[in-house]
Amino acid sequence: DPSEVLNNKTHKDIVSEMRKEIIKTAPNRQVSDYHFLKVLGEGSFSTVYLAHEIQTNKNFAVKVMNKESIRREKKFINVLRERDVMASLTYAFGGHPFIVDLHCAFQDRTRLFFVIKAAPNGELYDLLKYMGKFDKDLALFYCTEIVEALSFIHKCRVIHRDLKPENILIGEDWHILISDFGSAKIVGDKEQEALETEEASQLRAQGQSRGSFVGTAQYISPEVLQSQCAGYEADYWAVGAILFQMLTGYAPFRASNEYHIMRRVMNLEYDFPEGFPQSAKDLIQKFLVIDPSKRLGSLDMGGFDQVKNHPYFEGIVWDEVKSRYAPSLL
């Protein structure tokens, strides 16, 4: 149980142990230990490949990042945090079937390599685009998995902060794999908090209000858009927006540019279409609440236990969610 691990150690200790653990897992790993099979996707300073690890005879997703591009974009902190968070979730907290595992990490002179569990069935975003929208059962299936994975992430005292259909990958077995911990917050990490406070004040001085979240306001909670300070509730806002999108095929807050999307988020300007299922509507309305302390999922509102007990999840046996059968969709 993550809370037992955290009773004995701070996150900082865990992260420094994990750094050693990653090196131990695959000592002297290098790029020639892999056969690169195909490109799975591209990020702004990364390419992700499906690659075969010769020693273990297993396939992995290998995220390759150019150090110079990371430096240019000033993203070193995010990249290292992504590695540390994935490593601690995997090694210190035992991993979770709905979250990408970090197998190992290594570097050469110009590049960083993260070897991650592969998600061969793409992104929830693509699946949703392909299917148009999900029926009630499929939306409930994926929403349950997202909430289950989030409860684990939160127990590990991590906030994802950038949950969206592009970051929810679909594994080989058609279960979700939450990825992209580059914006994650380690709760209680004073160094991270100090850095982010300074970054936010610099941005404010330049007349900008947002930091590293450009391009994803559709799922970002109002408190994060405003100040970057976020509690666990920020992730439940995203679940509300994603559930809305799964059932309609479009995000609740839409506009022609980021500025207008942000305004709609801040003013809670969205509408349910006719015939929207009632219990899903009620859950979304309880997640899309401007005041984080009044949002379902916040500690003040009873945390994860209250989310689980919402009528939308009636009939879900939470202890069995990890071992359920997933429908194959393509």
Residues with a catalytic annotation lie at 162
Residues in the chain: 330
Please report whether residue 127 would count as binding ligand ATP according to CB under 6 A: no
Question: Which C-beta is closer to ligand ATP: that of 36 or that of 276?
Answer: 36
Is 234:297 a contact under the CB 8 Å cutoff?
Answer: no
**Structural tokens at position 117:** 């569990």
Contact residue for ligand ATP among 99, 169, 200, 284 (CB under 6 A)? 169
Please report whether residue 218 would count as binding ligand ATP according to CB under 6 A: no
Please report whether residue 42 would count as binding ligand ATP according to CB under 6 A: yes
How many Cβ atoms from other residues are within 10 Å of residue 196's Cβ? Answer: 19
Alpha helices (H) along the chain: 2-8, 11-25, 67-72, 76-87, 124-131, 136-155, 190-205, 222-227, 233-248, 258-266, 278-287, 303-308
Kindly determine how many residues on this chain lie close enough to bind ligand ATP according to the rule CB under 6 A.
19
Please report whether residue 104 would count as binding ligand ATP according to CB under 6 A: no
| Distance of alpha carbon 81 from alpha carbon 84, whole angstroms | 5
| Distance of alpha carbon 28 from alpha carbon 107, whole angstroms | 10
Please report whether residue 115 would count as binding ligand ATP according to CB under 6 A: no
Please report whether residue 119 would count as binding ligand ATP according to CB under 6 A: yes
Residue 183 beta carbon to ligand ATP: minimum distance, rounded to whole angstroms: 9
Residue 78 beta carbon to ligand ATP: minimum distance, rounded to whole angstroms: 9
Residue 116 beta carbon to ligand ATP: minimum distance, rounded to whole angstroms: 4
Binding region for ligand ATP (CB under 6 A) out of 42-50, 225-233, 249-257, 309-317: 42-50
**Structural tokens at position 127:** 């699946």
Please give the angle made by the CA atoms of 311, 316 and 322, to the nearest 5 degrees: 140
How many helical (H) and strand (E) elements, i.e. helices and strands, does the chain have?
12, 9
Alpha carbon dihedral 59, 176, 273, 236, in 10-degree steps, equals -130
Binding region for ligand ATP (CB under 6 A) out of 51-59, 117-125, 133-141, 150-158: 117-125
How many Cβ atoms from other residues are within 10 Å of residue 290's Cβ? Answer: 14
Please report whether residue 180 would count as binding ligand ATP according to CB under 6 A: yes
Binding region for ligand ATP (CB under 6 A) out of 34-42, 101-109, 279-287, 291-299: 34-42
Contact residue for ligand ATP among 22, 40, 150, 321 (CB under 6 A)? 40
Sign of the CA dihedral running 34, 35, 39, 45: positive
- Over the window 50 to 79, marking each residue x when it contacts ligand ATP by CB under 6 A and - when it does not, the resulting string is -----------x-x----------------
Judged by the rule CB under 6 A, the positions of this chain that interact with ligand ATP are 40-44, 46, 48, 61, 63, 100, 116-119, 123, 166, 169, 179-180
